[in-house]
Amino acid sequence: MKRDLGDLALFGGHASFLQQIHVGRPNRIERARFFDRLSWALDNQWLTNNGPLAREFEERVADLAGVRNCVATCNATVALQLLVHAAELTGEAIMPSLTFAATAHAVRWLGLEPVFCDIDPRTGGIDPAAVAAAVTPRTSGIFGVHLWGRPCDVDALEKLAADTGLRLFFDAAHAIGCTSQGRPLGSFGDAEVFSFHATKVVNAFEGGAIVTDDDDLADRIRSLANFGFNLRTPSPAGGTNAKMSEASAAMGLTSLDAFPEVARHNRDNYEQYRSELARVPGLSVIDIDPDERHNYQYVIVEIDEEITGLPRDLLVELLRAENVVAQRYFSPPCHQIEPYRSRQEVLHLPHTERLSARVVALPTGSMISREDIRRVCNIVRLAATRGSELTARWHQQSEGVVPAG
Ligand code: T4K
């Protein structure tokens, strides 16, 4: 355990971990089950194009989301694009800026303008009042994002969509297995999109899914994802190839089998982080409502530089020196990255900018042990309680006033 600043790898001490630990390491699965499924697919000689494993995966995801339809896709970004295209959105789509670039890029790729809104600082989710204020005659849709798996204000957004006649979708990339007022995320708005990327709590190597109770929308998306074949009303864009392969579905199913155990392990990790960092002034692990179901796939720590004296980016840097690969999810926010930054007049989203500059995602998942968390928290506690001194020493070292070590 590290006791003094000189013990930190940033200042010449040994790294706490011999090998890197990551946010987003794939979770443990029962490999024999995965290989059995893969072998079965090879024997079956049906490797993609709506195969039996992909259909089984769709059924299980639809059940989890509590909806009638699920269309599995090659990833969530393409799933979002399919949704925009199938719903015939045009002009502008309103969304939060505090999200992964994929939410905005998917819309932009199809020629729409993402219009970024501020968040509600209490939840980190898009602020329905800011959405209402951003509606223009060019707006055709709203995209909420269940950031880190925490639900948006779904009731207010559904009411706003009903009042304005706008289509409402949710980027639920982080939210498989989570609920809002006991109802599964995946079942709100016109449709929602999950991600099953390798870094997600349920993974299909690469994968995504659109879940919806709108049967016509689901049919149209299924056809568009398969080159537009059999569309009742042909699309001027034809169609695309967004299908999920049987190999991905084999992984997705095996990952779904492991999901309850992974979520339990993540919850224990989350609670350990919270208790180990509980009494550090200026640090907090973001709240997750204990009355809702949650997958706990991200442990997000908020750091207040004014109290700790430690800038967020220096915390990330010093953790990396210890072989702890923390992530700035999501910083900078979308309105401050290209192609959006230079497309619009200077946009100021104070709550988004504040939260985005303060968050760090710490490693969790089934490969992270109690001992790993104890060591990560030891570093974070030491850094945050001696933040001003550490920052000054880092500046001196960077300027060559004090040698490293
Ligand atoms: N909407 C939202 C809100 C999203 O967060 C995302 C994706 C999407 C939409 C789009 O979903 P997909 O089209 O991807 O299905 C990662 C993921 O690539 C991305 O899927 C995810 N969100 C985002 C939050 O995280 P990066 O740029 O951080 O990935 P990368 O390669 O730097 O990996 C992150 C960490 O994970 C590293 O420390 C290494 C570790 N890792 C990664 C991979 C791929 C592993 O340990 N093993 C692996 O196989 O975006």
Q: How remote is the CA of residue 97 from the centroid of ligand 1, in Å?
A: 17
Q: How remote is the CA of residue 103 from the centroid of ligand 1, in Å?
A: 13
Q: 60: closest CA among 254, 341, 227, 226?
A: 254
**Residue nearest atom 12 of ligand 1, based on CA coordinates:** 76
Q: How remote is the CA of residue 261 from the centroid of ligand 1, in Å?
A: 22
| 314-325 average pLDDT score | 98
What pLDDT sits at residue 315? 98
Omega of the bond leading into 330 within 30 degrees of 0 (cis)? yes
Q: How remote is the CA of residue 402 from the centroid of ligand 1, in Å?
A: 37
Task: Estimate the share of the chain in helix, then strand, then coil, as percent rounded to the nearest 5.
Answer: 40, 15, 45
Give the pLDDT band of residue 176 (cuts 50, 70, 90): very high
Inter-residue contact 240 to 78 (CB < 8 Å)? yes
Fill in the amino acid letter for 97: S
Inter-residue contact 380 to 285 (CB < 8 Å)? no
Q: Where are the beta strands (DSSP E) in 336-393?
A: 359-362
Which atom from ligand 1 is nearest to the alpha carbon of 25? 46
Give the pLDDT band of residue 183 (cuts 50, 70, 90): very high
Dump pLDDT digits (tens) for 214-270.
999 999 999 999 999 988 888 888 899 999 999 999 999 999 999 999 999 999 999
Asked if the model's pLDDT at residue 405 lies above 60, the reply is no
pTM: 0.97
Q: How far apart are CA 227 and CA 52, in angstroms?
A: 20
What pLDDT sits at residue 292? 97
Inter-residue contact 205 to 247 (CB < 8 Å)? yes
What pLDDT sits at residue 123? 86
Give the pLDDT band of residue 404 (cuts 50, 70, 90): low
What pLDDT sits at residue 47? 98
Q: Using DSSP, state whether 100 is helix, strand or coil.
A: coil
Report the chain's mean pLDDT, rounded to a whole number: 96
Q: How remote is the CA of residue 233 from the centroid of ligand 1, in Å?
A: 35
What pLDDT sits at residue 232? 85
Lowest mean pLDDT among 35-44, 62-71, 368-377, 393-402: 393-402
Dump pLDDT digits (tens) for 201-213.
999 999 999 999 9
What pLDDT sits at residue 235? 86
Q: How remote is the CA of residue 364 from the centroid of ligand 1, in Å?
A: 14
Asked if the model's pLDDT at residue 345 lies above 80, the reply is no
Q: Which residues contact ligand 1 via a Cβ below 6 A?
A: 22-26, 75-77, 99-100, 102-103, 145, 171, 173-174, 195, 197-199, 208, 325, 327, 329
| 121-149 average pLDDT score | 96
Best probe residue, ligand 1, of 100, 203, 323 (max atoms within 8 Å of C-beta): 100
Inter-residue contact 212 to 197 (CB < 8 Å)? no
**For the chain, how far is it from start to end, CA to CA, in angstroms?**
17
**Residue nearest atom 24 of ligand 1, based on CA coordinates:** 100
Inter-residue contact 126 to 96 (CB < 8 Å)? yes
What pLDDT sits at residue 403? 62
Tell how far CA 285 is from the center of its chain. Answer: 17
Q: Where are the beta strands (DSSP E) in 119-190?
A: 139-145, 167-171, 179-180, 183-184
Inter-residue contact 158 to 189 (CB < 8 Å)? yes
What pLDDT sits at residue 230? 87
| 32-45 average pLDDT score | 98
In our burial notation (b when 16+ CB lie closer than 10 A, e otherwise), range 268-288 reads ebbebbbebbeebebbbbbeb
**Residue nearest atom 31 of ligand 1, based on CA coordinates:** 199
Which H or E run contains 398? helix 387-398
